[in-house]
Amino acid sequence: MHFLDQAKIYIRSGAGGPGAVSFRREKYVEYGGPDGGNGGKGADIIFEAVAGLNTLIDFRYTQHFKAPRGGHGMGKNRNGAAGKDLVIKVPVGTQIISDEDDETVLADLTEAGQRVTLLEGGMGGRGNASYKTSTNRAPRQHQPGIPAEEMWVWLRLKLLADVGLVGMPNAGKSTFINKLSNTKAKVGAYAFTTLRPQLGVVHHKNREFVLADIPGLIEGAADGAGIGDRFLGHIERCRVLVHLIDISSTDPVEAMQVVEEELEAYGGGLEDKPRLVALNKIDLVDDELAAAYARELLKAGADEVFPISGATGKGMSKLLDAVIEYLPAATVTERPEGEQEEADEKPWSPL
């Protein structure tokens, strides 16, 4: 399945149905009168966040969404049917942005099941029966119904993850996420093996969190170098970032500074987000060299350095312990004392 995190679509709500102009003409009714019904309400445009979606690829092939209009009013005081609301399902984490300035966020869907009515359908028009009065026995006026609303909007997906994984290409991010989760991220001995964000669920000490891996950053990514920095939007919602540095690179300190500068250039609050620096691939060097590089990173501004090996898993537990300190406390439902013991002692019965 292709990954797409941005799409532009056209939406239009349903117009209200017009009211009817009608009069009773029954053979054995001496006095007739107006009996035109009201028009039906037009359908709304509703966006709903659903679980199980992680791409906007469907909106590449379907870009126009038009809700049905309300039904016409009819004679015999029959009102028009209301249009059925058009529900557009999007992934959790989708932002709806105005096309006028490409900045105004009209809605931010961050929870599964969340619904937002973006455009309301027009009200149906009044039929001539509603205009009847004691002095106006045969009105012919009616309302045509409220017109539909329409607009172009941008859909931008920002994946929901607790922890974001950043670093330069070949820092070992794909190996790292594959080691901790069931993700099948591509691993290769060349730059930019990761071309789209990857999500993985990590379990550690009875805790569970979502880890996001994004394409690597190089110097000048904010100006479009490499893959650019557009994918950084997927870690804006993370609680903490894990900065992975390859110990076998030419200069780990320079690698850390390059990524830090790109995060600051991107903005979006990433420059102020807490970061954990992980010195990766320590299985390729001796302990003395790893300790020396760790001291250099601390002098360069890192708060704490975690020497790890994504391939062997060495040092990963300590890093994950630090990660879960930034996550909200887990809610554990405890059993009343003695309840578990009584349940265990009770003999099994099929009834």
pLDDT tens for residues 8-30? 999 999 999 999 999 988 888 77
310 labeled part of a ligand binding site: yes
* Residue 114 near residue 49, CB atoms below 8 Å: yes
171 labeled part of a ligand binding site: yes
301 labeled part of a ligand binding site: no
Nearest to 165 by CA among 69, 273, 47: 273
- Confidence class for position 335, pLDDT limits 50, 70, 90: very low
pLDDT tens for residues 176-231? 888 888 777 667 665 666 667 888 888 888 888 888 888 878 777 767 676 777 78
Is a pLDDT exceeding 60 seen at residue 334?
A: no
Task: Find the Cα–Cα–Cα–Cα dihedral 168, 170, 172, 178, rounded to 10°.
Answer: 110
Q: What are phi and psi of 270, to 5 degrees?
A: -70, -30
Question: What contacts 24+ positions apart, CB below 8 Å, involve 174-177?
Answer: 174/198, 174/213, 175/310, 175/311, 176/213, 176/244, 176/280, 176/310, 177/211, 177/213
Note the pLDDT of residue 344.
Answer: 47
Q: Strands of 105-109's sheet, edge to edge?
A: 64-66, 6-12, 150-157, 94-98, 105-109
**CB under 8 Å to 349, separation ≥6 — which residues?**
none
Note the pLDDT of residue 268.
Answer: 80
**CB under 8 Å to 233, separation ≥6 — which residues?**
5, 156, 158, 268
Nearest to 47 by CA among 83, 1, 93: 93
Q: Which of 34-48, 54-68, 80-94, 291-305 has the lowest mean pLDDT?
A: 291-305
Note the pLDDT of residue 192.
Answer: 66
172 labeled part of a ligand binding site: yes
Note the pLDDT of residue 131.
Answer: 95
DSSP states along 187-239: --SSS----S-EEEEEEETTEEEEEEE-----TTGGGT-TT-SGGGGGGTT-S
195 labeled part of a ligand binding site: yes
311 labeled part of a ligand binding site: yes
Instruction: State pTM to two decimals.
Output: 0.76
42 labeled part of a ligand binding site: no
147 labeled part of a ligand binding site: no
213 labeled part of a ligand binding site: yes
Average of per-residue pLDDT values in the chain: 85
pLDDT tens for residues 58-110? 998 999 999 999 999 999 999 999 999 999 999 999 999 999 888 899 999 99
173 labeled part of a ligand binding site: yes
- Confidence class for position 333, pLDDT limits 50, 70, 90: very low
- Confidence class for position 330, pLDDT limits 50, 70, 90: low
